[in-house]
Structure 1
Amino acid sequence: MITDLFEEIYAKILEYDTIIIHRHVRPDPDALGSQLGLKALITKKFPEKKVYAVGTDVENLSFMGTMDQVENEAYENALVIITDTANRPRIDDKRYTKGKFLIKIDHHPDEDIYGDISLVNTQASSCSEIIADLAISLDARLPMNAEAARLFYGGIIGDTGRFLYPATTSKTMRIVSELMEYDFSASEMGQMMNTNSKKIANLSGYVLQNIEVNDLGVAHVILTQEALEQFGADDSDTAPVVPLPGTIEGIVCWGIFVEQATGGFRCRLRSKGPVINEVAKRHGGGGHPLASGANAADIAEIEEIIREFDELVVAWQK
C-alpha cells in the first residue's frame, strides 16, 4: 500500500509545475529535514519546476536551511505538500488551503485525516525516513542527492534522539546507511545539532537544577516567563532542554511546562515507557505514544497532568 502511495505522489509531482511544501509551526529538525529534503529532491530532478518551502525561519536550526517567500498567486495552480504535521491547526502558513491539490506525508497517529492523498506511516521513526524511503523506492525517477541526504539524516537523528528512542528500527538504520553513502558529513550534522548557544546552555542548567521528581519517577519543570527572560530565551529555545530529564536515573516520564506570553502553558511531555499521548489528548494536544505535546490553562491543569502521569506509571509498573 505504501509503495502504491509513493507512485501516486510521484505522479502528482510530475503533473504540477508549482509545488509548495509546508510543515508544522515551531519546527524541529524532522519538520525541516522532511520539508527541505523533499524540496531538494524535486529541484535537483526537475529544475524547471518552481518548488518552495514555506513557514517561519528558526534561528537555531538555520544550518538546516531557510524558507522561501511566496506570493499568494503562486498557490492558484499549485500542488501543496504538508510534511510532519498531524493536524491542520498546526500547519505553518494557512495558505495551504489555496492550492489545487493537497498531499499529507506524516508519521504521527492519523487522527486528523486530511489531504487528497494521505501517506501516514506510524511505524516510521520520522517523516524524513518516509520521504527518504520514497526516494530510494523511486530510484532514478526521483534520485537521492547529497543535500537531500544531509537533510533527511538530520531529521532522522533529530526524531530518534541519535537512535536512542524506541521508534528506531532496522529499517531506519538501513535507510540511514544509504543516506551516508552521499557526500555530506554525518558527524558535522550531529555536531551542529548538538551545539547550543550560551543561553540554551544556561537554560539547561536551570532545568537540571529545578527539576522536581516524585517517588514514582514522574518529573516536571515549570519554565515561567520570568525564568526565560533571565536567560534571554523564549518558547522557541526550549526544545533542546526537553530530553534532559530523560538522562537522569529513575525518571520514567516527565513534562517541561513553558509559560506563554499570551497566558497558559505549552506542555512538552515525554516518557520512557508509559504511553502518554492519551493524556496529551485530554489536554488539547496529542502526538506519539512516548513523545507528545499539550496545553495547560494554569498551574492547576499542570498538577492534573502530573497526577495522570502518576496513575500511568503505577499501571505501567504493574
Structure 2
Amino acid sequence: MAVFTPVTLDDLTPWMTQFPLGKALAIKGIASGIENSNFFIRTEAGEFVLTIFENLSFEQLPFYLKLMRRLADHGVLVPAPIANANGNLVVALHGKPAAIVSKLEGESQMSPLPIHCAEVGKMLAQMHLAGQGFEIVQPNLRGLAWWHATVPLVLPFLNEDKQALLRAEIHHQDAFASTASYQALPSGPIHADLFRNNVMFDGERLTGFFDFYFAGCDTWIFDVAVTVNDWCIAPETGVLDLARVEAMLAAYHAVRPFTAEEAIAWRTMLRAAAFRFWLSRLYDYYLPRDAEILTPHDPEHFERILRLREAASAPALPQN
C-alpha cells in the first residue's frame, strides 16, 4: 500500500455519492506497502478503506473482490466490499479502477506469540477450505511465470554471488514444479501475502485478514510457507522460532490436515516463498515506480531467509 494516485477530499466528495455510505468527511493516505494507492476514509456511515489499483485491471479485479465476498459468507473474517448504486464493486476514480471495503477493527500484531500464530493458522486453513469451488480461476500473478520474466530484469543490478543464488533457486523450483508430487499438491485460491501487517487482532482475538490483492490460485502449502516465513521468525535474522512454527502448523492441520505430498514439498515451498519476496523486493528496489508516499522494503531480508531455508531443515509438517 502506497499513494501513487493522490486523492483529496474534494475529489472524493462527488465520487462517493454513488455509494450508500453518506457524505465523505475525511481521507488519509496509507504509507505502508508498495503496490496500490490506499486511503482510510471516514463517511457518515463509518470508517472504510479506499483502494486505487495501479496494476490490476477492471477485468482482473472481480476475482479479488468476489473472493473476499465468498470468504466473508463462509465465516472467514475479511473486509466486505461495498457495491455502488448499480451493484458494481469496482468503479473508476481518476481513470483507474477503485474499490471501497469495510475497515477491520483491531491492530496488527507485530510481535506475535504462539497463540497469535495458532489463530492465524486456524483461519488460514478455514480460508483455503472456504475457497474450494470458487467459480473464478486466476493464477498467482507472482508465481513461476512472473519469476522467469522478472529475474532477467534484476540480474544486471546484482553481484555474481546474488546472481548465482537467483539462477540456482529458480532452477530448483522449476525442477520441483515438474514432479508428480508437486502436481498432486492441493490448491485453490490463496492469500499469497499474509504478513503480520495484513492481519488484525484485538488482544489474542483475530479480527480479520485483509489486502487480498496478491491473491491467486496456487498450492495451499505455498500460502502456508509464505505465512510461516513472516509470522514465525526472528525479524532480525530470519531464523525460525520453533514454538511459533509448531503452533501455526498444528492449528492449521487441525482444520485441514496436511497431505503426504505437502510434507514432501514443505522445505521447497519455504524456499519458494522466500524467493518470491526476495525477487519482488529486488524489483521494487532497483526498478521503483514514483509514489507520493512510498515505503520500500529491504531485499536483503528475504535473501537471508532464502539462504537459511536452503541450508537448514525446518520443523516437519504434522501428519495423521
TM category (shorter chain) comes to: under 0.3
Larger RCO: Structure 1 or Structure 2 (Cα < 8 Å, ≥ 6 residues apart)? 2
